[in-house]
Amino acid sequence: MRLTISSTALASRLSALSKVFNSKNSMPILDCYLFEVAGDTLTITASDSENVMTTSMQLDAADGNGTFAVNNRTISDAVKELPEQPLTLDVDMATYAIKVIYMNGMYNFTGQAGDDFPRPQQPLDGAATVIIEGKTLAGDISHSLFATANEELRPVMNGIYFDLTPDALAIVASDGHKLVRTLNKSIKTETPTSFILPKKPATLLKGILPKNDEEVIIRFDGRNAGISFSGGTLTCRLIEGRYPNYNSVIPQNNPNSLTIDRLTLLGVIRRVLPFASDSSQQVRLHIEPGKAVISSEDIDFYTSAKEEIACDYDGNPMDIGFKGTSLTEILSNLDCEEVVLQLADPSRPCLIVPTQQPENEDVLMLIMPMLLND
């Protein structure tokens, strides 16, 4: 079998799929890409047994059909440094000897049969379906991932929760200290349903989803999800279990409102945070009409920092503490000029929302305060 393909196109697809591989695998075949040639189409698959990603591309020329597997490092190293040019893969389907012929040279290596490559578990016929724009899903995943947990005792917190209701699609992530909830009001269903997407497939989707209006189709049942997008598919095992009632922790009435430039606040926190205690990472906000004072200190090492910035504050003067790293993550994962911090008192959750919401979406982030040591 002989096929010809663009070197940069092949290298790009292999690079996208390479993030599926684990450093250690239970089966040797899982260290390989699966190549499937049918007519003038090449389909490449990578799997870690729980996540299976495929991508398809048109061949410049093809002579014969067949399936073979190639070690991921061997083929990636062979093509990633080549400039744009036609590559010819000559595969002996009896011995799986592979020649990669390029403009001024040739590689020789051996592949293996692809018969043992694991096939993805597809969702059942009764699976639910969600259709969402690629750029919307990529954005929602991108600003939710940081809030997922890493817990052995509560694995449901280690993924992104998709909650489809008659009112909207809610995409939620939380580690118990911070929470992100995005409501997509254009996606609804008469029958409420939900699933928890693990962190790894979410990260894979973040990097490979089309950043445009093309539709992404998600089919899921109680155990598996199949996600189809332009140029490929991802099939993954879902996290099983019941996600906590996230709406119960979102306060409905925080009367004190602080409006401030997001990048200005982010910059101040980054400047004062190095002077905070390593164990607590606490920063203090003293807020009063017209100004906010952000400070930090480490009593053990006699270090401190304080900076004042202008703001628009409607409420009672307040001192409140937050974990600086968590507040930095939240502000870094919003995409807006100004944010509104909605506060009740120093012991209750603070809501952070953009002043301008994305079209058809409602983005909300929550951070729990820290007890101040006065």
| 249-259 confidence digits (pLDDT tens) | 999 999 999 99
Residue 124 has pLDDT above 80, yes or no: no
Average pLDDT, the chain: 93
Domain holding 48, by residue range, is 2-110
What's the mean pLDDT in 314-323? 95
Arithmetic mean of pLDDT, 307-328? 95
Do 222 and 262 fall within a single domain? no
Last residue of a domain, one of 200, 219, 248: 248
| Domain termination site, one of 248, 271, 304 | 248
Average pLDDT over every residue of 346-370: 94
* Residue 230: per-residue pLDDT: 87
Q: How confident is the model over 178-199, as a mean pLDDT?
A: 94
Percentage of the chain exceeding pLDDT 90: 81
* pLDDT at residue 374 in the model: 65
Identify the pLDDT of residue 373: 76
Q: Are residues 258 and 155 in the same domain?
A: no
pLDDT in tens, 198-227: 999 999 999 888 888 899 999 998 899 999
CATH number (domain holding residue 153): 3.10.150.10
Per-residue model confidence (pLDDT) at position 115? 86
Q: Poorest-confidence range of 85-99, 106-120, 303-317, 339-353? A: 106-120
Q: What's the confidence (pLDDT) of residue 23? A: 86
pLDDT tens, position by position, 276-289: 999 999 999 999 99
pLDDT of residue 210: 81
Q: Does residue 100 sit in the same domain as residue 46?
A: yes
- The pLDDT score that the predictor gives to residue 27 is 86
Mean pLDDT of 40-52: 93
Q: Which residue, of 248, 275, 300, is where some domain finishes?
A: 248
Residue 147 has pLDDT above 80, yes or no: yes
Residue 98: inside a domain, yes or no?
A: yes
| pLDDT higher than threshold 90 for residue 172 | yes
pLDDT at 26: 79
- Assess if residue 374 is contained within a domain: no
Q: Determine, yes or no, domain membership for 115.
A: no
Whether 273 and 310 map to the same domain: the answer is: yes
pLDDT at residue 75 is higher than 70: yes
Based on the domain organization, do 189 and 85 belong to the same domain? no
In a domain? residue 119 = no
Same domain, 54 and 95: yes
Check residue 327 and give its pLDDT: 97
The answer on pLDDT for 95 being more than 90 is yes
Residue 30, pLDDT above cutoff 80: yes
340 HSE (CA, 13 A, CB side): 14
The verdict on 243 and 137 lying in the same domain is: yes
What predicted TM-score, i.e. pTM, was given to this entire model?
0.91
